[in-house]
């Protein structure tokens, strides 16, 4: 974000007689003020994003599961709001290195899920078995909801990828009352014939558990699910995102899952089981740990998270 400061108009020279010294001094002052006006108009660098109070949500308990498509929790208070949706990429983006590539970003959960619990609790087929349509997600102890975090990072990631020339689609943009369900999220990526899909989340594990992890699809062949063709490319996508995430954010891989690799393979997530294109999930940190929460609620850190994910996707797509 750039900041526009006060505008200054260079003082108009008087028509009275001046000594050479006074004329030179006036010119120096005018030049200095003009330089400040140019600097102010260009703007000083920001922190990569702002945080503000989000609409308050009903209070409730926050039991969380790190083993689910979505962590069940109810936001209890206001927290930093998601960044506003960004405009489409600039005309020059169409000629970027990712021209012709399609990326689908899946912001986990939906800010409105907690108001539609009956709808999101209905079971859907995920290939291996049935599972809830979606869940509310978790939140920090101060009430910053995972659904708002995921939308904020998704908007930042979309901007970065569009600048590289990619066509970017979101599975939801806070523009529907709830969901979509996990099976529909998979279909959106499949229908778009995406070259890569990334589902963005933040975990809700116990305090003291820190770090990020990337979830990869296991080889599943059951019912409507057949991940065998995407296991290999999805692993490559996940490995590249994990490497970039460490480098850009400085965050360490999870200390509680993945054996320090930052990579976890699962067969119980409908969003992965039903995908026919390369797809991974990333849990960017643990919202229930105070140190991780301090990062997740920082606009500057969320920009780094988006940059790390973006660089991993670009690396994967460029080979």
For β-strands 225-226 and 263-266, DSSP reports them as unpaired
Distance between CA atoms of 154 and 139, rounded to whole angstroms? Answer: 17
Structure tokens at 189: 């990526």
Q: Which residue has the tokens 């990869």?
A: 216
DSSP string for residues in 96-148: STTTT-EEEEEE-S-TTGGG-HHHHHSEEE-SSSEEES-----B-TT--BHHH
Q: In DSSP terms, which residues pair with 22 in a beta bridge? A: none
Residues 184 and 274 sit within 8 Å (Cβ to Cβ)? no
Q: What is the dihedral of CA 149, 171, 248, 142, to 10 degrees?
A: 10
Give the angle 220-224-226 at the CA atoms, nearest 5°.
30
Residues annotated as catalytic (active site), given as ranges:
283
Sheet holding 263-266, edge to edge: 167-170, 102-107, 196-203, 279-286, 213-217, 263-266
Q: Which are the contacts of 118, defined by CB distance < 8 A and separation ≥ 6?
A: none
CA atoms within 13 A on the CB side of 135: 25
């Amino acid at each position: 974000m750039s900041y526009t400061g006060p505008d200054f108009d260079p003082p108009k020279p008087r028509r009275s007689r001046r000594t050479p010294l006074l004329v030179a001094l006036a010119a120096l002052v005018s030049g200095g003020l003009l330089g400040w006006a140019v600097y102010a108009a260009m703007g000083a660098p920001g922190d990569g994003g702002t945080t503000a109070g989000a609409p308050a949500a009903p209070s409730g308990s926050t039991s969380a599961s790190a083993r689910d498509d979505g962590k069940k929790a109810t936001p209890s208070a206001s927290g930093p709001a998601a960044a506003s949706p960004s405009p489409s990429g600039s005309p020059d983006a169409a000629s970027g290195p990712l021209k012709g590539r399609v990326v689908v970003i899946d912001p986990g959960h939906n800010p409105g899920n907690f108001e539609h619990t009956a709808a999101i609790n209905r079971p859907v087929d995920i290939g291996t078995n049935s599972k809830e349509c979606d869940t509310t997600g978790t939140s920090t102890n101060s009430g910053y909801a995972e659904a708002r975090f995921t939308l904020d990072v998704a908007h930042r990631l979309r901007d970065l990828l569009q600048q590289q020339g990619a066509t970017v689609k979101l599975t939801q943009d806070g523009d529907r009352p709830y969901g979509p369900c996990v099976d529909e999220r998979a279909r959106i990526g499949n229908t778009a014939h995406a070259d890569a899909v990334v589902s963005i989340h933040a975990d809700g594990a116990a305090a003291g558990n820190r770090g990020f992890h990337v979830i990869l699809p296991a080889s599943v062949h059951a019912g409507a699910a057949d991940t065998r063709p995407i296991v290999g490319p999805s692993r490559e996508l996940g490995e590249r995102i994990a490497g970039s995430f460490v480098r850009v954010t400085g965050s360490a891989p999870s200390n509680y899952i993945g054996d320090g690799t930052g990579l976890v393979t699962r067969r119980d997530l409908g969003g992965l089981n039903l995908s026919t294109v390369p797809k991974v999930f990333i849990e960017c940190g643990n919202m229930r740990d105070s140190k991780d929460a301090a990062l997740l609620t920082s606009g500057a850190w969320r920009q780094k998270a988006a940059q790390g994910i973006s660089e991993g996707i670009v690396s994967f797509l460029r080979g």
